[in-house]
Amino acid sequence: MPRLSLPRCFSLDRFRRQLASVDALPQLCVLGLVSGLITGGLMVLFRLLLALGAMVFLPGGDPEAFEGLAPGARALLPLLAVALIGVWLWWLPPAGRQIGVAHVLERLTYHQGRFPLRNWITQWWVGLISVLGGLSAGREGPAIHLGAAACSGLGQSLRLPHNSLRVLVACGTAAGISASFNTPIAGVIFAMEVVMMEYTITGFMPVILASTMGAVVAQAVFGVEQPFQESGVMLGSLFNLPWIVVSALGIGLLAGGFVRVARAGDRLRPLPFAVRFALAGGLVGALAWWYPQIQGMGYDTLGLTIAGELSLDVLLAVALGKLLVTAFAVACGIPVSIIGPVLVSGGAAGALCGLLGAQLMPELAAGPAVYAMLGMAAMMGAVLQAPLAALMALLELTHNPNLILPGMLAVVVAGLTSRQLCGCDGFFVSVTRHGLHPLQQPLMQALNRVSVPAVMERDLVRTRRRVTLEQAGTLLEAKPVWILIERSSDAKPALALKAADLARWMLEHDENDKLIGKDGRLDLLEIPGQRLDLAPIHLQATLSEAFDRLNTKHADALYVEHGHRPKHKRISGIITRDAIERYYRYSDTPPG
């Protein structure tokens, strides 16, 4: 029976070659659609597992119903949670304990978006236990890590070029946020602003599709959720703007304090692993005895804050206590997700500012609900240094466009306060070079968008060092640009000779030339001409990887290997430093 095969235009090799280019927008959009479906399914599974776990011991099977537990039970629950997390992390090496958004950025920066499986599995365990165990933790970090790693795994299994893996990571990030909170626009902006750290059409379109599909999958299972919809809330009077500035200033200081406490891990590192975890769990448990609102994700608490149903002492506990226990858990080495707690604490801090404003300006001040919603956006924007993502979260969580104008003011003031007065960069950006994270450097951004097949020279032939004149003529019949000279030992670098130099020599010399040995063979290393020392690089690498390898190996050019079996690798082409520089200088036109 004859085998069915896809037409040539649908071959996987052709698909990979197209993705290597900077203008592979249709192919990336296909990957974005698939990524959204995969990530949406994973987030549905994660949320169902949270609900299943809550059915065991939480009232009504609600993952946030810690208020219904007895004070002793909710105080001991965080200690049990840190014990379960600690036992899991104890047997892992330090690299295997890295999860969440920081891990996604690290893998994107230094590993071209390739994720270890063990960290992905660890994220499932820690994400579920930290939320169900009553720690102050959200589900945003698990959503981002699980989605990004799954989509990257899809690209790795298909052996796609690394420039497309970067886009797949952004697709998984956006779809994870979108499926978790029904905020597709915020998911897109977060992926581009916090993870990719750049805005390009090629990046935007597949990420938008992924975020859309993630939301569609989640809505098909859970329906359209609008937890904080307050469409009738308005600023009222522009006289509120000065007080919004003052409130945002205070929230920016809180955000700066949060980042500083969370980064105090070096001071706690001398303490034993178990002691640090016990301290973090004990602090949460002690505060939860009186204020269970600081536990878990806290979105029910945020809803009550916006509705004005929380007392003053609870608002203080959530604004300060939840912020503190979250930062302290991170400092102690517990990899909890911080975005949800930051939103909730910001909402409580904003509500407190609104209550104070009502006392100062009883006739003009807007209600606490306005300040609560502005506070959550201001806190998120200041902690993450992601103003657009915070504004989109404000719009989509509240479904209230009336808040965008004051929200812009609050987010900017809070972000400037945290950055300039407290000296805090974005929470997840901890590695800088000349004031920029590596992902923010323009050269690296441009070179990461393209893989080596897009610019490599494919016209080459391979040969041994010594050849007869007849063999040399046969080599030139293929009209190559480069002749790759294989060496007798792997310890010696491979060399590339310009084919034009060999052709010129053969026109000017004959078999009686002194370069031809007694065996009638020509030594290609002795021919006058341009020769390049070569180092290997794999076909999936980006131009950024090629640029780094040229510098670290002190090579003149790279030969591009294809295949995975060491003794059966093929050489697909040569990429020179000049080719990389030409792409960077003329990247606005398709490489030839």
The residue ranges of the chain whose pLDDT is under 50 are 1-6, 434, 588-592
pLDDT value of position 32: 96
Give the containing element (helix H, strand E) for 463: strand 460-464
Cβ atoms within 10 Å of 306's Cβ, excluding its own: 28
Residue 484 is encoded by which pair of tokens?
Answer: 């790759």
pLDDT value of position 591: 42
pLDDT value of position 40: 97
Task: Label residue 423 exposed, middle or buried (CB < 10 Å: 0-12, 13-18, 19+).
Answer: exposed
The SS3 assignment for 539 reads: coil
Cβ atoms within 10 Å of 227's Cβ, excluding its own: 13
The SS3 assignment for 190 reads: helix
Whether residue 130 contacts residue 334, with contact meaning beta carbons closer than 8 Å, is answered with yes
Start-to-end CA span in the chain (Å): 43
Common-topology check for domains 24-222 and 452-585: no
Biggest CA pair distance of the chain: 105
Collect all residues with Cβ–Cβ distance below 8 Å to 416 and sequence separation of at least 6: 252
Determine whether domain 452-585 maps to CATH 3.10.580.10. yes
Predicted model pTM = 0.88
Topology (CATH level 3) of domain 24-222: Clc chloride channel (1.10.3080)
φ/ψ bin of 389: left (φ > 0), alpha (ψ from -120 to 50), beta (otherwise):
alpha
Task: Label residue 435 exposed, middle or buried (CB < 10 Å: 0-12, 13-18, 19+).
Answer: exposed
Nearest to 32 by CA among 155, 114, 141, 157: 155
Nearest to 348 by CA among 320, 315, 317, 321: 315
Give the Cα separation of 132 and 66 in Å (integer): 9
pLDDT value of position 343: 96
pLDDT value of position 219: 94
Q: Is the dihedral of CA 195, 198, 204, 208 positive or negative?
A: positive
pLDDT in tens, 396-423: 988 888 899 999 999 999 999 999 999 9
Residue 312 is encoded by which pair of tokens?
Answer: 């003053």
**In the chain, where the domains are located:** 24-222, 240-430, 452-585
pLDDT value of position 2: 44
Whether residue 122 contacts residue 99, with contact meaning beta carbons closer than 8 Å, is answered with yes
Domain 240-430, CATH class in plain words: mainly alpha
Residue 485 is encoded by which pair of tokens?
Answer: 């000279």
